[in-house]
Amino acid sequence: MDAELDALRASAAKLGGVRVLAIDGPSGVGKSTLAAEVVSALRAAGASVELVASDDFATWADPVSWWPCLVSGVLEPLSLGRPGRYRKMVWADRVPRLGPWVDVAVPEILVLEGVSTGRASMRPALSRLWWVDGLSPAELLERAVARDGEADRGSLSEWQAFERGWFTVDNTRLHADHTVLRAFR
């Protein structure tokens, strides 16, 4: 991962003065874990880093159309050198509700993590796009169910069908600068 982090640090800032790394791929593949590792490594190397996850916005009923909230609350302010802010989605009793405000300082590097963060409309502002892959659809579903609970199996299955369609239309994987293969067996 060191070479890829070096490439990120050497890449051009395309969102004002901020370099943006999108970590995208199917649910259950390990994007959040990878993003935490990346943020930790970058901070250990002395970089100022902020992490924003698509899970802070998405719901079963709104898998990707929440994007304008991220743009207006975080991306536009950061592009102008100003801090961003958004309301995080919290889940109580399996029901999403708007939760606390999250402040996003102006970093050297912004890590966007989650399904659709590498979308076509964002690519001109991305310094790097990583695609995370390596598990079959059945393995992805089982990992997501293990994470979120058996009660969400049906919703997760529908979500994963949606995201497969999204990725096909968006061609996210084809635009990635780097593919990370995860194996959780």
Tell me the per-residue pLDDT of 99-139, one tens digit each, with 9 for 90 and over.
999 999 999 999 999 999 999 999 999 999 999 998 888 99
H or E segment to which residue 131 belongs: strand 128-133
Residues 139, 27 contacting (CB under 8 angstroms): no
The reply to whether 76 falls in a domain is no
Per-residue pLDDT of the chain (185 residues), as tens digits, is 799 999 999 999 999 999 999 999 999 899 999 999 999 999 999 999 999 999 999 888 888 889 999 999 999 999 999 999 999 999 877 788 999 999 999 999 999 999 999 999 999 999 999 999 988 889 988 988 998 889 889 988 998 999 999 999 999 999 999 999 976 54
Is 89 inside any structural domain?
A: no
Helices (H) and strands (E) in the chain, counts: 6, 7
Q: What is the pLDDT of residue 96?
A: 87
Q: Is residue 128 part of a domain?
A: yes
Residue 75 domain-assigned?
no
One DSSP character per residue, 81-122 reads T--EEEEEEEEETTEEEEEEEEEE---SEEEEESTTTT-TTT
Distance, in Å, from the CA atom of 179 to the CA atom of 130, rounded to the nearest integer, reads: 6
121 domain-assigned: yes
178 DSSP assignment: E
Asked if the structure places residue 83 within a domain, the reply is no
Question: 120 lies in which domain range?
Answer: 2-62+108-181
pTM: 0.93
From the list 149, 136, 157, the residue with the least C-alpha distance to 60 is 157
Per-residue confidence (pLDDT) for residue 185, from 0 to 100? 46
CATH code of the domain covering residue 138: 3.40.50.300
- Report the number of distinct structural domains present in the chain: 1
Whether residue 25 is contained in a domain is answered as yes
